[in-house]
Amino acid sequence: MLNQLSWKVGGQQGEGIDSTGEIFATALNRLGYYLYGYRHFSSRIKGGHTNYKIRVTTKPVEAISDDLDILIAFDQETIDLNSGELREGGIIIADSKFDPQVKKENVHFFSVPITEIAQNLGTSLMKNMVAVGVTSAILDLPVDSFKELVEEMFGKKGQEVVNKNIEAIIQGAEYIRNEAKGSLDDFVLARADGKKRLFMTGNEAVALGAIAAGVRFMPAYPITPASEIMEYLIKKLPELGGAVIQTEDEIAAVTMAIGASYGGVRSMTSTSGPGLSLMQEAIGLAGITETPIVIVDVQRGGPSTGLPTKNEQSDFNAAINGSHGEIPKIVIAPNSVESAFYDTAEAFNLAEKYQCPVIVLTDLSLGMSKQTVEPLDNSRIEIDRGKFMGDQELPAIEGMFKRYEFTEDGISPRVIPGQKYGIHHVTGVEHAENGRPSEAPAIRKKMMEKRLNKINNVTFKDPVLKQAPHEEADLLVVGIGSTRGVITEAIGRLEKDGLKINQAHVRLVYPFPADELKELMEKAKKVVVVENNGTGQLANLIKLNVGMGEKVEKLLKYDGNPFLPSEIYNGIKGLI
């Protein structure tokens, strides 16, 4: 009996691969299993190989698995590209429609008339249900586990459609039971605890975090892998009195968000690398006008169009340095679905407290991987609007309000257009305290210092997430973003080899938490920085801000895929 297994379905994009994985995973989530699902898909709208790999366990899991137990193939390409992952004794279930050929040895192979069964029931579209039925029989899961889900999915189409889809699951299960005749007993899955948990992506968590923080306006231009954030908010914000506008490009999106924020509404936009590049001039506008704005950048493979549907972490430098001139800016990097929720909510507080752009950096792996998540706690979300002044707080004055008043902490009182006694000027050129343009050297110098100095005291809880049980460590492994879970799993294996390893995960990218990392680096003989890019941007930030470059080694991956635990394990073994 298995406590965990890895399952993958593959075929051509557009033939129901994603829905097959979703049905399988959602049903298991409701049974109380922990899941981690990674979608590998083509940048084409239709066609091209795609697959959905899901790790199922009875304990929490935060990484994709190294190998594969069961492969469901809707075409020959799926077998050719993915059978190498199968462990010895694994299973290939292939649709007999394409006369499947398997060269890999020491695996169970079944050619199943998946499409034929579906067509006999009315339509080949139900082949995903047949595949789910085959899987349920192999894992010894009751067909009833899927009935409630099918009724939710197809109930609006009538009971006949529901019944046919359930029958497709039943016939798929019966076929493989008859074919295998008990030879697959080793694949029976241990029963889960049955507890209800969330099953969601990082993109969905970002959208929920924004709602919890009170966002009510989102202009955005669709771009993979960030579009899901906009799509989620399109469904939810109107119910809350808010609005989402699909703009003509990213420049319009970010400037609309700046305008709405200037008007007092919590606003955001989301994008990926190319879109962030287009937004950079407007980010400078938000910087000099000290307008709060939250931008979520779900990183993907670059440069240019690059790898739009593949994973990469290569926008750190663009997020920190991308805009022209010198402005205050805060960059944070959530490292789990849960932190994507809480950190996004906190980003709005940071933006308003320090009156500057805040960039939330996630990546495709975190944004689009679907994971089991414990219930999110809205009571942990606190709203802090900083020095936002209500009508009652504004003193009766003659003349113009000092929107950019020089203060001890560099942060000025903020008003919105139309408030009595709050009249001021706003412009993208340098200005005096009331916003009027000014090129006076003394004012320019003082205004620059005011803007730049105000983020010197940024407070962000746990800017470096630490797992550091050793006072003196052989190694410190540093990561960022989606790599936390896979690094943790690799460290567990390395410690079984006798190594003493501490772990650090950077959550505040700018201003860089040098002191927090320095303390950990001093305790380690060597530092290995794990990141998904080709130049080691995080490692270079560490050398620039902390020093100790002689200790720092880079473990990089930039082929479009996230790290596997074995790759980090073997990579670190090769560096020490």
Which DSSP string do the residues of 195-263 spell out, in sequence order? ---EEEEHHHHHHHHHHHHT--EEEE---TTTHHHHHHHHHHGGGGT-EEEE-SSHHHHHHHHHHHHHT
pLDDT of 6 reads 97
Residue 457, pLDDT score:
87
d(CA 86, CA 70): 7
Q: What token pair was written down for 426?
A: 């706003």
Token output for 345: 């909510």
Q: Determine contact, residues 419/266, Cβ cutoff 8 Å.
A: no
Return d(Cα 72, Cα 82) in angstroms, integer. 10
Residue 7 bridge partners (DSSP): 54, 70
**Prediction pTM value:** 0.95
Q: Please name the residue that has the structure tokens 């069961």.
A: 70
Tell me the domains of the chain and their CATH numbers.
4-180 (3.40.920.10), 200-375 (3.40.50.970), 387-459 (no CATH), 464-575 (3.40.50.920)
Q: Give the span between the Cα atoms of 64 and 49, in whole angstroms.
A: 19
**What per-residue string of b and e applies to 221-244 under the rule 16 or more CB within 10 Å gives b?**
bebbbbbbbbebbbeebeeeebeb
Q: How many residues does the chain have?
A: 576
Measured CA distances, 297 to 223, 334, 341, 363 (Å): 10, 11, 15, 8
State the burial class of residue 293 (Cβ atoms within 10 Å of its Cβ: 0-12, 13-18, 19+): buried
Token pair listed for 292: 């709060």
For the purposes of burial, counting CB atoms within 10 Å of the CB of 522, is it exposed (0-12), middle (13-18) or buried (19 or more)? exposed
Specify whether the CB–CB gap between 8 and 51 falls below 8 A.
Answer: yes
The span from the CA of 233 to the CA of 348, in Å, is 16
SS3 content of the chain, % helix, strand, coil (to 5): 40, 20, 35
The token duo for 189 is 């899955």
Burial class (CB in 10 A: 0-12, 13-18, 19+), 186: exposed
**What type of residue is 43?**
S
Count other C-beta atoms under 10 Å from residue 45's C-beta: 8
Residue 209: what pLDDT? 98
Tens digits of pLDDT across the chain (576 residues): 889 999 999 999 888 899 999 999 999 999 999 999 999 988 877 788 999 999 999 999 999 999 999 999 999 999 999 999 999 999 999 999 999 999 999 999 999 999 999 999 999 999 999 999 999 999 988 888 888 899 998 888 999 999 999 999 999 999 999 988 776 788 888 999 999 999 999 999 999 999 999 999 999 999 999 999 999 999 999 999 999 999 999 999 999 999 999 999 999 999 999 999 999 999 999 999 999 999 999 999 999 999 999 999 999 999 999 999 999 999 999 999 999 999 999 999 999 999 999 999 999 999 999 999 999 999 999 999 999 999 999 999 999 999 999 999 999 999 999 999 999 999 999 999 999 999 999 999 999 999 999 988 899 999 999 999 999 999 999 999 999 999 999 999 999 999 999 999 999 999 999 999 999 999 999 999 999 999 999 999 999 999 999 999 999 999 999 999 999 999 999 998
Q: What is the pLDDT of residue 472?
A: 96
Please give the pLDDT value at position 185: 80
Question: N- to C-terminal Cα distance for the chain?
Answer: 37
Q: Are 221 and 275 in contact (CB under 8 A)?
A: yes
**Single-letter amino acid, residue 187:** F
